[in-house]
Structure formats: structure tokens, C-alpha cells
Structure 1
């Protein structure tokens, strides 16, 4: 769904300059993207949500439109959650807000709830890929180590392939053996977010292989996705997926938290993590249309259910 252009602003935070977009009016709804999608990951749902909210989406620190002062500075969940809090302070000082996060953005949303519950009215966390809440966490730690090793020794696209296979692998199967993973198991919203590596390359007609010229906006987004992928795989994936949430703290806030996952992603690491965390916290677990990238592949259904869950 497309609509009027959002208002664009920039927020100076410690070590970075955050680019954000604002649509609509009403109670504030902060949308936290995963992967390299940035604010554009929510383009398909933001206008609809803006009918009842002031919708704020943004590019997390380190992505191309929210540059770091020091490109080599370490990154953390706490730091990115603090950036989200600074946006709340800027755009709705002192007022309660609702938050929706996808993938790595869902992890930041969980930390934001745990550290600033007085400012958060409701959080929807869609498929946070939290390795440490899973009973087979050791298998997935080993996968992450392989991703880092592959990135170091073989390069970006081989590492992205290992990552994608590891997320899609059945829990009983070692991701190292998942070389026969289906081609459709492209890195999800959080691998290159709403843009898999293949989509960052020049588009081509499936039948002829002839390159297809993308519209300028889509071409620019694809270019940003590819440019941001090394930062995501090398800096965000290791720290975010190893993050250990404060379960005791979140349990006391479970009435404000909804864990969500895709109907089509059962068995994949992010879906399993969301379901497991919901069970451990005793909180609501909701299935959304599509898989890990349902936000992109099923925007109408995803947006409608998100609107319903946020207002419950």
C-alpha cells in the first residue's frame, strides 16, 4: 500500500545520526525494523496504521541512512533500544507508546519494554531470533560461529547462504548439513531483512534471465540492502542473536507483550524462538500471515492483524 510521503527527520544520538519517518496522527506507534530493511520495511503497512496512530519508523544505527560516527564501533541490543527510547522522548515526551518490532527489531523492542516499561503501553514482537531461549541453543551457537568464520574466510554471499540455511534448518538437523535447503529459504527479514541478497542484485526476468530495470525507489532500496549486508551479518547478527532477555522482568510485564510468528515459518529458528519465549513468559502468541518476511509478502493481512493486536 502506498500513500503520501512521510515527514523525514534526523535524531542525533550517542555515536550515530538516526533517520526517521513520521506519518499520521494520534497515539505514537514506533515500528522497529530488522535486518537491513530500515524504515522502508514497513512501507506496505505504515500508511494504513497511520489512520489511527502517529507512526514512526526508522533506520537503525549503522545502516546507510543512519551512519555511525565510528564505523567500527561495537553494537549492542541495549544501545539500539536506547535509540528507540530517544525517539519516543523526542516525538511523544512522557506519553505512553505502542511498539512493533520484527526480527532483530523485535529483540530491541523486548529490551525497550524491559528497561522503560513506564513508557510502553504494548509491544508486538514478531519472530525475535533469540538463540538463547531455545533448548537446542548450542546447535544454533555453532551455526552463528560458522557464519562468522565463513564471512571472514569466504566472503559475504557464502556467509549469507550459511546464515539462511541455519535459520531455516529443522531443529533436529545440524545447519552445517543443510546444503540441500530449498532455494526459497532465502535470508529472512532479518538476514537482509525484507530484501534477500538475491534481491539486492540486479533484477532479471525469471524466464529469459534478461536484466529488468527497477523503479528508482526500488533500485535505491536494493542498493542500500546490499551495502548494509556486511554490517548486518558481521555486527548485528552475532550480538543480537546471542542476547539473553531478562525473563523475570518480562514475565512481570507479560500483559503488555504479544509474541508473534509467521503461519508459514513453523520449524524455523525465529518462529521457534518466539513460540518458546511466549511459553516461558506465559504471554500471548499470535500467528501472522506469511513467514518471517510476512510484513513484505503479505502486507495487507499482516497490517490488518497488527492493527488489531495493537488495539486489543
Structure 2
């Protein structure tokens, strides 16, 4: 595995490359840094050149610019891809990572061959009163963060997203929180959660995109609104959706099964 840092406007992006084959970038959800995708990347590296990275403001990626938008994050991924390949890449993103991957697909369509967007929180597609519930869930997390701090806010987030660490493969170890955990959570809750809540995808641009777009849902998450968003997104674009192992965080808790399913989808 090779670790590098790329200078981009307003930030330095720490990223990692491993494996060989066509380029596949993994974009984590939540406050996840590159390490959250380590297990998934390891299971894919025999078939792909896997790129993982810390989003700006997280762990080894610094930023001195104003609060990032999803367009900022998409531009960062675009610059990482440009540094590594001239060919369209495979992209897999989950949750906010799925939103970033879709923003990348509309802003830099020439860089994306296939994008797998796992449970993107496309709140704009939810009918009322479901949309109001989703917005209030995110506002509630932001309010809890301001009133009580990052850990209670993350616990509230885990409730509505039904993050279940017990739904995992037997050899998946839950890392104890490191020194980056609280700063990452604070950055995510300060900037990225409001960015997701207020962002509107360019659905027309996605419909016109030359990329192959694959909406994904969790096998065990049909009761949460991000799953509902993904199905409505598939319906909006007139596409089938693909089911992946586990719940909203299946890529983290079921990396071996997710890698096999992702390979099936990409090869499909």
C-alpha cells in the first residue's frame, strides 16, 4: 500500500493506493476516513487498484478553506483521480460518500465509468411527511451536537440510521476510537451533516450522464429513510437498484461480502 498527499485548493488530501487492475475509489460515509475502508479495500485489491482517502478536514487531510460543500468534496475526488489515471474510474460511495460520488458524476462525468451509490440520502426525493422526518433527524443531530457535544450527536445519528455493529462478519474487529475520532466527528457534524441536509442533486444531469449509475440498498435497512431515498432515486432515474449485505454501514461491517457483491455489480 502506498500513502501519498495531494495538494489541492484549500486542502491537503492524504490518500492510499493498493492492489492492481482498474481504478476503484471508495468514498466512506459519516465521519469515516480512509481507514474505515481498509478491510473492504483489502478484499478488493486482488482485482482493482483501490484508492481510499481521508476527506478534507478528517484525519490526515487538512483544510484551511471555508466549510466544504458536497461540490468541494467531489472536486477533491476529481483531482485525486486526475493524479492517478486518464481513464474513467469505478466509484463506490456510501451515505454522504454516495452523495459525493453522484456529485462527481454530474460535475466530472468523463472521470466516472461506473458509480455505485449505496443509500445516498437524497432527501429532495422524499414525499412529505417523510422528508420532514428526515430533515428533522439531521437537524436533531446538529442541535444535539451544539448542546451536548459530538458523542451524543453520533449516538443520535446511529439511532435513525440503525447502525448495528453486531451485524458484522465474525472476523471484523471494531477498532477502539483513536485520537482522530473526536476531531473527525466535530468536523463532520459542523460542516458535512448540514451540507447533506441542504444539498440538491442535479437529477437531470445524472439522467444524461454517460456513466453507468447503480443505486444500492442494504439488505437489512429497508426500515430507514436513506434506504427509501435510494429506492426513490433508482425509480427517478428509471434504473434497477442492487442489494448489498448488511445495513446502512454494511461496507464497514461486512467488507468481505460487500467486496464480492460490489465486484459482481461492477462486472455486470
Q: TM-score, normalised by structure 1?
A: 0.78
- Indicate if the aligned counterparts of 1:255 and 1:283 stay in contact, CA closer than 8 A: no
CA contact (8 A) 1:77 1:108 kept: yes
Query: Which structure 1 residue ranges, 5 or more long, are not aligned?
Result: 1-5, 169-183, 189-193, 200-217
Structure 2: gaps spanning 5 or more residues: none
1:61-76 map, 5 Å:
61-70=56-65, 73-76=66-69
Contact persistence 1:114–1:249 (CA under 8 A): yes
Aligned equivalents of 1:227 and 1:264: distance in 2?
30
For 1:117-128, list aligned pairs within 5 A. 117-128=109-120
Q: Which moved more, 1:284-293 or 1:151-160?
A: 151-160
Does 1:229 find its partner at 2:185? yes
- C-alpha distance in structure 1 between counterparts of 2:164 and 2:81, whole Å: 35
Matched, 1:11 2:6: yes
How far has the Cα of 1:251 moved from its partner?
1.4
Do the aligned partners of 1:167 and 1:270 also contact (CA within 8 Å) in 2? Answer: yes
Cα deviations by residue, 1:69-90 (Å, 9 ceiling, x for unpaired): 25xx211000000000001110
Match of 1:85 in 2: 78
CA distance in structure 1 between the partners assigned to 2:42 and 2:161 by the alignment: 30
Deviations along 1:255-277, one digit per CA (max 9) or x if unpaired, are 60001011011111221111111
Alignment of 1:210-229 (within 5 A): 218-219=175-176, 222-229=178-185
2:52 paired residue number: 57
* Structure 1 residue 65 displacement after superposition: 1.0
Q: For 1:100-179, list aligned pairs within 5 A.
A: 100-135=92-127, 136-168=130-162
Cα distance in 2, alignment partners of residues 297 and 146 from structure 1:
26
Give distance in 2, aligned partners of 1:42 and 1:241: 24
- Given that 1:31 and 1:99 are in contact with CA atoms closer than 8 Å, whether structure 2 keeps it comes out as yes
Contact 2:105 2:211 in 1 (8 A): no
The equivalent residue for 1:279 is: 235
Give the aligned partner of residue 245 of structure 1: 201
TM-score (norm 2): 0.90
- Residue 159 of structure 1: how far off its partner (Å): 2.2
Tell me the number of residue pairs that the alignment of Structure 1 and Structure 2 aligns.
261
Task: Return the alpha-carbon distance in structure 1 between the equivalents of residues 22 and 258 of structure 2.
Answer: 20
Matched, 1:270 2:250: no
Does 1:294 pair with 2:250?
A: yes
Q: Distance in 1 between matches of 2:3 and 2:192?
A: 25
Q: Kindly tell me: are residues 161 and 47 of structure 1, through their superposed partners in 2, closer, same or farther at Cα, counting changes over 3 Å?
A: closer
Please give the secondary structure, in 1, of the residue aligned with 2:59. coil
> Which SS does the other structure have where 2:180 is aligned?
helix
Is the CA contact (8 Å cut-off) linking 1:39 and 1:57 kept in structure 2? yes
| Residue in structure 1 matching 2:41, options 46, 51, 74 | 46
Which of 28, 36, 46 is the equivalent residue of 2:31?
A: 36
Q: Give the drift of 1:307.
A: 1.0
Compare 104-113 and 228-237 and name the one that shifted more.
Answer: 228-237
| Greater gyration radius | 1
Quote the Cα distance in structure 2 between the aligned partners of 1:288 and 1:223. Answer: 31
Question: What RMSD in Å do the two structures reach over aligned CA positions?
Answer: 2.2
